[in-house]
Amino acid sequence: MKTPLSSILLVLLSSFIGSFGAVFLKYGAEHPKPGFAGLMTNYRLAFGIALYLLSSVFFVMGVAQGELTILYPMVSLGYIWTLVWSRIFFQERITAFKVAGLGLIVIGVACINLGKA
């Protein structure tokens, strides 16, 4: 079974959009408004959710064709984007622990998917 380039690009795009979803989720959480109405009108949160939905649609499109052992681990690349956005948007430190932990996770996700083959 071959994995089309378009599937790879769709899943990459999905992981990229999804990582921004996480950024806006945090923005939304840091600017809370009281009550249910406040939750429903939190536009930062809403934008984060919209990005997640868009990301999911691209993901479903991407995995409809091609090898899942290649496509599924690519989602974990989103964690790497998130590390970079966290540094840029929230001034979080990139520590050796975070880099090492992420490395283990990305390799681990790839291993799990190799095991599916």
Partner 1 sequence: MGIATTTNLEIDDRTAARKSFLLVFLCTLIGALGQMLIKTGASQLGVHVSLPEVFQKPGLIFTYSFGILSNPRLFMGYVLYGINTFLMAAALKGRELSRLFPVIALTYVWVTFLSISLLGEHLNWYRAVGIALIVGGVSVLGMKNKTEVVG
The residue ranges that bind partner 1 (CB under 8 A) are 4, 6-7, 9-10, 13, 22-23, 25-26, 28-30, 32, 39, 45, 48-49, 52, 54, 56-57, 60-61, 63-65, 76, 79, 82-83, 85-87, 90, 92-95, 97-98, 100-105, 107-116
Task: Output b/e per residue, 71-103; b: 16+ Cβ within 10 A.
Answer: bbbbbbbbbbbbbebbeeeeeeeeeeeeeeebe
Q: How far is CA 43 from the centre of its chain?
A: 20
Distance CA 81, CA 37 (A): 32
**In whole angstroms, how close is the CB of 66 to partner 1 at the nearest point?**
10
**In whole angstroms, how close is the CB of 86 to partner 1 at the nearest point?**
4
In terms of CB distance, is 41 or 101 closer to partner 1?
101
